[in-house]
Amino acid sequence: MDKFNTGLPELPGFGAANKALTEGWQRALSGLSGMALAPEAVLAAQKQYLLDATELWNRLAAGPDAKIEPPKADRRFAGEAWAENPAAALSAQLYALNARTMLSLADAVQGDEKTRERVRFAVQQFIDATAPSNVLALNPEALRKAVDTQGQSLAAGVQHLLHDLRQGHLSQTDESVFEVGRNLATTPGTVVFENAVCQLIEYAPTTEKVRKTPLLIVPPCINKYYILDLQPENSFVRHAVAAGHRVFLVSWVNADESLAETTWDDYVEQGVIGSIEAVRSISKQSQINTLGFCVGGTLLTTGLAVYAARGEKPCKSMTLLTSFLDFSDTGILDLFVDEQAVALREMTIGKRGLLKGRELAATFSFLRPNELVWNYVVGNYLKGETPPAFDLLYWNSDSTNLPGPMYCWYLRNTYLENNLKKPGKAVVCGERVDLGKLDMPVFLYASREDHIVPWESAYESVNLLPGPKTFVLGASGHIAGVVNPPAKKKRSHWTNAHLVPSAQDWLAEATEEPGSWWPGWLDWLDAQAGALVAAPAQAGNSRYPALEPAPGRYARVRHPN
């Protein structure tokens, strides 16, 4: 491996910038030489590299009429400017050649599967970062725009860069367009309960009658709750209210230093259990319907397991959207978790501290760097473009801090040790958690292209929860699969009433149905929600009075970076 050489030709007029990029590739390749690589795989990669490089060089040497096309399948190089500029087309082809070789070598690394996946992830990050499209001198589209605008695009790009440096994160949308409470999170409601970790919103009915059993929604505590209440046309909350359900929702705090010692137990006891007690009191119902989304589903299920350990059953039904209960396979996120990493977190913020929301946001963005990072680097800075207004990406930038002790408990007991699935292993609020005691009807939803909660892992809840279960698989990813209003008539979903142990076996027998999964869920929820009764005239009650209009103070807080 030490003798592996890229063999990149010195090309007339190719420029110092590309030479530097080529040298960077060579350094990265030599960095792999210190690893244990399968010799036959290295030889195969070297042979293929030399064949492809020779073919490219022969095409270049064919004469002035020779034409090299950029790799059109890669949308970063699909613009006309790349095809019309021979040097740029060659740069893109060399980049693609080196990328293929790097990934081949990453696949040749010998070791355990986690190490191999980490190497491949790191190599892919390097590949994505060093694309010639990310370099002004090598991007013919950006250069053409600079000429056409007489440098105005470059000036605008500098202004965008300075703006993003001041705000502390890369702009993925035009954030000036949106404001929480004005054109986001606008479903009418009232905050009726609050404590250190959350506020509870009761939404105003829009129908004369509502279902007797109310619905409590527990969203993730990473980012704000309004992913479920973006704008009227795509609001999950508004849709449930319009269907005649009495809806309550937890709005988690954006933690500051005053909450630096707050624990997972506090989030469960004060957030989940506190909110359930408030909804039961206000609705005068001993049992309520519940819904948890992502980590909100993990929190909700943990809280209900605490109730069960105390001999109580306040939940008539539970819906889990893209939620982990079994953390055996956490997909790409597993690359970031091992004993050493968790122990380091525990040493630094496990007793007191905050996990900054920006750190989590950056991690999630770099899981899909071309779509969520480099695409905007090119557009915002090299081309001087203002990204289009997109409500979901505004929400994505509105991250929340988490208390260090709470986060560290979650990290160790779920991603690292998978304790929630082990009866009696995890202790929460002084009670031993046993998911086998949760025998209420459950609706489980997963998204087929979810890279945060792989759908097969979400399906494992079928094997953990003993009560009646319905599982639905939606198209698209972690967020877009969930936020799929029926009126848009987009995507599809799969159903199969026969819940077998294997996720893939379930899918093999499933039926694909067009459109959103929301109507099917509402039909299921109607069956759990009882008869129609007169809608309440006002929010809250004497014990839980109206405090302020929705979305409430907690949803509006944006901490400085």
At what angle are helices 113-129 and 86-107 packed, to 10 degrees?
170
In angstroms, rounded to a whole number, what is the distance separating the alpha carbons of residues 94 and 49? 11
Cα first-last separation, the chain: 44
Phi-psi region of 247 (alpha: psi -120 to 50; beta: other; left: phi over 0): beta
Contact assessment for residue 10 and residue 132, using Cβ atoms and an 8 Å cutoff: no
Structure tokens at 556: 């509006």
Q: Distance of CA 535 to CAs 73, 201, 203, 207, 212, Å?
A: 55, 16, 11, 7, 9
Q: How far apart are CA 420 and CA 390, in angstroms?
A: 36
CA–CA dist 318, 304 (Å, integer) = 10
Residue 453 φ/ψ, nearest 5 degrees: -125, 90
In terms of phi and psi (left: phi > 0; alpha: psi -120 to 50; beta: otherwise), the region of 286 is: alpha
Question: Is 315 noted as a catalytic residue in this protein?
Answer: no
Contacts of residue 102, Cβ cutoff 8 Å, sequence gap at least 6: 25, 28, 29, 32, 123, 126, 127
Q: In angstroms, rounded to a whole number, what is the distance separating the alpha carbons of residues 159 and 166?
A: 11
User: Strand, coil or helix: what is 291?
Assistant: strand
Helices (H), 223-286: 236-242, 264-266, 274-283
| Residues 52/94, Cβ–Cβ less than 8 Å | no
Catalytic one of 198, 221, 294, 429: 294
**Residue 74 CB-density burial (10 A; 0-12 exposed, 13-18 middle, 19+ buried):** middle
- Give dist(CA 33, CA 124) in Å, integer: 17
What residues have CB less than 8 Å from 426, skipping those under 6 apart?
Answer: 302, 413, 419, 420, 432, 433
- DSSP assignment of 134-180 equals GSGGG-HHHHHHHHHTTTHHHHHHHHHHHHHHHHTS--SS-GGG--B
> Which one-letter DSSP state was computed for residue 536?
P
Q: How far apart are CA 218 and CA 201, in angstroms?
A: 11
Q: Which residues pair with 422 in a beta bridge?
A: none
For residue 23, which amino acid is it? E
DSSP string, 472-510: EEESS-TTTTTS--GGG---EEEE-S---S-HHHHHHT-
Q: d(Cα 405, Cα 450) in Å, to the nearest integer?
A: 27
Would you call 117 exposed, middle or buried from its count of C-beta atoms within 10 A (0-12, 13-18, 19+)? middle
Active site residues: 294
